[in-house]
Amino acid sequence: MDFSTLASAFATTFTLHGLFFLCVGVAIGLLFGVMPGLGGPTALALLIPVTYSLEPFDAMLLAGGVMGAVSFGGSITAILLNTPGTAPNAATCFDGYPMAQQGRAGAALGASAAASALGGALGLITLLAVLPLAKVIVLSFGPAEFLMLALVGLAAVAMAARGKLLRGLVAAAFGLLLSFIGFDSVTGEVRFSGGLDYLWDGIELVPALVGIFALAQMFELGVKGVSVAKDDPDTPLDRVMSGVYACFKYWKTLLRGSVVGTLIGAVPGLGGTVASFLAYTATVQTSKDPDSFGRGNIEGVIAPEAANNARDGGSLIPTLAFGIPGGAETAVFLSILVLHGMTPGPAMLINNEHEIYGLIVAITISAILASVVGLALARWLRLVTKIDVRILVPIVAVVSLTGVYVLRNDFGDVIVCLLMGVVGYLMMRFDYSRLTLVTALVLGDILERSFHQTQMIYDGDMSAMFGRLPVQLLSLVLLVIVGLPFWRWFRQTQKARREVSSDAAS
């Protein structure tokens, strides 16, 4: 790594000219993040023609600004309205929204802003640190590892359904069933499409997520007829800062989220949604008080938001090592590079070092900038939770459905969104976990595909995959996840027994 190039990229960024492009990028990123359905890839694709006339470095600042800011923008609506602005923010809803309901929206926004900024910075530090090992990391994750990772994720949510195991299984099975609709990506056959062309590609993730969270929430609010924050405490501003402090207090959660985010980001084929969900479930799993999650535990906001921003750094690892995008956003970003005459590929880091470090700087600064803007606005943003439902519900419903439609210009997406809204609402009413459903929906496709691929690669002998070190490590994680609750239960019974016997002795 060349520190002088990094320093020069910083110097170029911190000019009036550089900051202008960065700020424009941040503003666009926040806006596209806040709009449910739209996200980073859409924003970047729309920016492509704008970057034609720009210098490559300015284009990097603009793109980096968007990439760094989108995820914090998406967390704002996730927290305030239970409406994830982008798909990865869905995990933030689980604890962010209960916090808003309890009148702690300021703290949740503060935590999200700080976690986004710190997660983004940690992700990029990790990126710079592991750049020499980039190729090894990318190449050590194949279909066998994907399969184990999907199993780890599913096991984690299954175990998170303590006490409601049957309901958890029903939700997970429903999610898996939904994920199997459409093309079997291995045989090319279309399954469960009911003769509808729309279902060839299966259930689209974004409309499903917007339905399950945003619309379901609007149905709930509409039926109850109250504003989001039930009571009306005049929340003081220091609550926002308390969220920021929480990030430092729960530094382990922050670090865990960032590591999970960077790692998942580094693996092409897994997206930010997988990153934030795994970070969330990992936090629930390792917490001493897992039952407090889903009820407004601030750690449930910190973990997915840190992961979501750290992923940006991670997804640059395969981009810089092989010129291969780590996710949809990086894919669009690569096409911007090509338009500016740069050739994505292993030589990029040598030929276009200045632009690449510019991008790294831009993503870091924009994550921080977006968070500062967010913190400054948090005081007013949280007022959203006090808006009358008769105004709020129609606005959010229209904006969500428009966002869903605009994404692919397909009315089928709107119908899926509405149907999933009904499903989500019923799940809320009858106390089924939406986290479980969504995780199964996200991981089902990866699970099925990597299972098929692993079988083909090892000629049907699945045991051969356990010869790989990453598979062995992930198997260990899987064992811990499944075993931990039993271990806890065992310890508790032992403790209870000791107490009983010591009571008896005294």
Partner 1 sequence: MAAITRKAFLGASASLLLANCAPKAEEPWPRGRPLQFVVPFSAGSGFDSYVRALVAPLQAELGQGARVVPENVPGAGGSRGGGVVYRAKPDGYTIGMFNLPGATVSAVRGDRLPYELNRITWLANLGTDRYAVVVRAQSPLRSIEDVFALQRPLKLAQLGPNSSDYVCAQVAFGSFDRPYRIVTGYQGSSETTIAVLRGEVDASVRPISSVLSYVESGDVRLLLTLEDKPSVAGVPCSTDIGYPQLAALGLERMIGGPPDMADEIVARLSDVIVRAAHSEVYLAWARAARTEVNAIGADEAREKERELAAFYLGYRDMLALRG
Q: Which residues bind partner 1 (CB under 8 A)?
A: 41-42, 44-45, 48-49, 52, 138-139, 142-143, 183, 185-188, 197, 200-201, 268-269, 318, 322-325, 328, 330-335, 338-339, 341-347, 408-410, 449-450, 452-453, 456-457
Q: How far is the CB of 151 from partner 1 (least distance, A)?
A: 17
Nearer to partner 1, 333 or 432 (CB): 333
Nearer to partner 1, 306 or 349 (CB): 349
Amino acid symbol at 382: R
Count H helices and E strands in the chain, helices first. Answer: 22, 2
Binning the chain into helix, strand and coil, the percentages to the nearest 5 are 80, 0, 20
Cβ atoms 211, 417 nearer than 8 A: yes
Nearer to partner 1, 200 or 466 (CB): 200
Q: What is the DSSP letter of 210?
A: I
Q: How far is the CB of 341 from partner 1 (least distance, A)?
A: 5
Tracing tokens 């092409």 back to the chain, one arrives at 268
Q: How far is the CB of 338 from partner 1 (least distance, A)?
A: 5
Q: How far is the CB of 275 from partner 1 (least distance, A)?
A: 17
Cβ atoms 25, 366 nearer than 8 A: yes
d(CA 125, CA 27): 24
How many CB atoms lie under 10 A from the CB of residue 483? 12
d(CA 120, CA 68): 7
Tracing tokens 């924050």 back to the chain, one arrives at 229
Q: How far is the CB of 377 from partner 1 (least distance, A)?
A: 29
Nearer to partner 1, 163 or 188 (CB): 188
Nearer to partner 1, 470 or 485 (CB): 470
| Closest to 240 (Cα-Cα) out of 388, 73, 99 | 99
Q: How far is the CB of 462 from partner 1 (least distance, A)?
A: 14
How many CB atoms lie under 10 A from the CB of residue 255? 16
Q: How far is the CB of 345 from partner 1 (least distance, A)?
A: 3
Nearer to partner 1, 247 or 267 (CB): 267
Nearer to partner 1, 281 or 454 (CB): 454
Residues 6+ apart with CB under 8 A from 306: 115, 116, 118, 119, 122, 253, 254, 257, 258, 261, 279
